[in-house]
Structure 1
Amino acid sequence: MDGRAERLRQARIDKGFETAAAAADAFGWNRNTYASNENGNAPFSYRRAKEYAAAFGVRPEWLYDAAGGMRPAAEGGLAPVIGRVGANPDGIVLFATGHDPGELAPIPPGGTDRAVALRVVGHSMRGVADDGALIYFEDQRTPPTPDMLGHVVVVETDTDEVLVKRLLRGSRPGLYDLESVAGPTRQDARLRWAAHITAIIPPFQARRIIRGAA
């Protein structure tokens, strides 16, 4: 799979579509054409990249040739709330669906146009973030770094799960243990990327600052 196809797949998953067919059906695309674009068998044009980018909320320049950031610069210093986390002990991030109008929240101090937020749902993350809180991170998609060890971070596994977990060393290089705030530790996971949490906004303040996307 080439880089363009891989970015398309990433954009589709981040938007909350589990399969290529689900995305194609939602936006009225031909299933076979879209699947061929995503698996790299049929490279897509910049014109098609603009269509896919608009549907998945990413920049067409990034989708087509990896130029610049993944998402458009946040307008008015706002970051998108891209999903929710903590509804169960697994710490799995549930992304917004393709038809969700979305929510926005102010970028925290030190944040960039790659800042995104997750809304905490439920009480399985008590002690880190309570029900209704916002968790911010920079959506940079870079490998784990040593300074993340021992900290609660946002990660993506090689099985397409995005999780909020405490990052620990695994049994050998390249593998990591993922400790839950509540629940069992997942051992020897392979990760595609990890990101520091840059801010946690308590529930009371989060309710005041979240706004609906235009």
Structure 2
Amino acid sequence: MLSMRNNGGISTATSTVRLPLVGDFSAGHTTGMADKTLKGILRRVERRLKALDITAQAASEAAGLSKDAIRNLRRAADGDPNRKGVSSRTAQGLAKALRTDLNWLVEGTGTEEIEETGGERTVPLVGYVGAGAEAHFYAVAQGNLDEVPAPDNSSPATKAVEIRGDSLGSLFDRWLVFYDDVRSPFTLDLVGKLCVVGLKDDRVLIKKIRQGSKKHLFRLLSEREPPIEDVEIEWAAKVKTMVPR
């Protein structure tokens, strides 16, 4: 079995290209009725994050940027002298990931929400959940296993796994489980939630998370199996929705 961790140790060669800033984002500067200030852009980013119900990290990664891209915008808007603008690449990537018009994101003009066209939206199927609720993932180089219809509440970062077996209950065999907001490292707000969970030993499970005997250890629950006691969680993502396939 090949397992895929979030940010699973894949190194890629990168090069840095200095791109032009989109507009004048100096503090307090506006042009006409448009709001092209950095704080204005950030307000619109936050609005789209809320509308899509995704985190800044998930949106940044869906935009093809570093996971800290939006966090860096927040720092810049708060006056960090080392962070002074938004590149064309960042603005274009975020507009696509946040399903909005680039002009609206940059200036506050145009259409806020853009619906995808060209047929039914799909998301990648990245693994199967079999006996023991263990999800079997495949190496990134092999690509996604399939594309499945996207749920109504999907985001650009949404992925799916398929349940095979009755570890979550016999009614759920062959159902699809959707998630998008991968927390790496794990965050305590997921305690009590049903999640896709990646463990230190490379197992990937679908379990409800409870606090363990120590602060850094957790108890994993499912309907038909004994609890898994006191394990360290490497990453987790809250289950967004489940639907029959």
Same fold (TM over 0.5): yes
Q: In percent, how many aligned pairs have the same letter? A: 25
For the Cα contact (< 8 Å) 1:79–1:105, is it kept in 2? yes
Runs ≥4 residues deviating over 3 A: 43-47, 58-63, 65-69, 72-76, 96-101, 141-147
Matched residue pairs, number? 154
AA matched with 2:159: V
Give the unaligned 5+ runs of structure 1.
1-11, 21-36, 48-57, 207-214
- What does 1:1-214 correspond to in 2, within 5 Å? 13-14=3-4, 38=11, 44-46=13-15, 62=65, 77-85=121-129, 87-89=130-132, 91-96=133-138, 98-99=141-142, 102-126=145-169, 130-202=172-244, 206=245
Q: In structure 2, do the counterparts of structure 1 residues 101 and 176 end up closer, same or farther at CA, with 3 Å as the change threshold?
A: closer
* TM-score, normalization by structure 1: 0.57
Give the superposed CA RMSD: 3.7
AA matched with 2:150: I
Instruction: For 1:101 and 1:176, locate their aligned partners in 2 and report how far apart those are by CA, in whole Å.
Output: 30
Give the unaligned 5+ runs of structure 2.
17-60, 70-89, 100-115
Instruction: For 1:59 and 1:197, locate their aligned partners in 2 and report how far apart those are by CA, in whole Å.
Output: 18
* TM-score, normalization by structure 2: 0.51
**What per-residue deviation string (whole Å, max 9, x for no partner) do you get for residues 121-142 of structure 1?**
1222216x61110000114334
**What per-residue deviation string (whole Å, max 9, x for no partner) do you get for residues 1-54 of structure 1?**
xxxxxxxxxxx9429xx9x9xxxxxxxxxxxxxxxx85xxxx83449xxxxxxx
- Displacement of 1:155 in angstroms is 1.1
Hey, what does 2:52 align to over in structure 1?
Answer: none
- Displacement of 1:188 in angstroms is 1.3
SS of 1:140's partner is strand
Q: In structure 2, do the counterparts of structure 1 residues 139 and 80 end up closer, same or farther at CA, with 3 Å as the change threshold?
A: farther
Instruction: For 1:88 and 1:123, locate their aligned partners in 2 and report how far apart those are by CA, in whole Å.
Output: 7
- Displacement of 1:158 in angstroms is 1.7
Q: In structure 2, do the counterparts of structure 1 residues 147 and 100 end up closer, same or farther at CA, with 3 Å as the change threshold?
A: closer
- Displacement of 1:165 in angstroms is 0.8
For the Cα contact (< 8 Å) 1:82–1:116, is it kept in 2? yes
